[in-house]
Amino acid sequence: MTRFSTPFSPSPDTVESFGGGLTTCHGVTDMNTHALGKIRPINTQPTQAGNDFFRQIAELDAERQTVTATGLPALIRLSAIANRDTGQAGTVRRFLLGLYNGYRFPFNLVTLRGLDKVLFDDCMAVLALDARATAKEIHQYLDNGDTCFQRWAQGGAQ
């Protein structure tokens, strides 16, 4: 049995090599890294930074699920409204087109003030979907999204 120490290992008194790549440290068996001749760190506990990173990922995933659950039904409702020929429908169309391509279809946010509460809330849910879920472009969430958005871009409702 050979006792040795590497920059990555605990004190020499706690590490033993048994040949064949097996090493023990305080009774825990690990494999040597043969290419470098060193021991992989025994402690595989995540660091605080690692914990924070994974917590943030979990929070973002939870937020993504929430905004998707509320945003998709709102988008479906808004697309039905956008197919109508009313003042609010025009505002909804321009809002959706602005999300689709804000450079091609600039949208003045002040016009949202003219929507009733339900439509305004749906617009905010769809905005959150587009900003936070980011799984797809806004038109790709709808089965006929390409057709609808092209029709709206050419001037209007059904």
- Nearest-5° Cα angle at 82, 73 to 95: 85
Given a cut of 70, whether residue 88 has pLDDT beyond it is: yes
Q: What is the pLDDT of residue 47?
A: 84
- Kindly report the pTM of this predicted structure: 0.67
Q: What is the pLDDT of residue 50?
A: 84
Given a cut of 60, whether residue 134 has pLDDT beyond it is: yes
User: pLDDT: is 36 or 48 the higher one?
Assistant: 48
Q: Which of 4-8, 125-129, 144-148 has the lowest mean pLDDT?
A: 4-8
d(CA 91, CA 75) in angstroms, rounded, equals 14
75: helix, strand or coil: helix
- DSSP calls for 15-48: EEE-STTEEEETTEEEEEETTTTEEPPS--PPPH
Q: What is the pLDDT of residue 51?
A: 87
Which tens digits make up the pLDDT trace of 115-132? 999 999 999 999 999 999
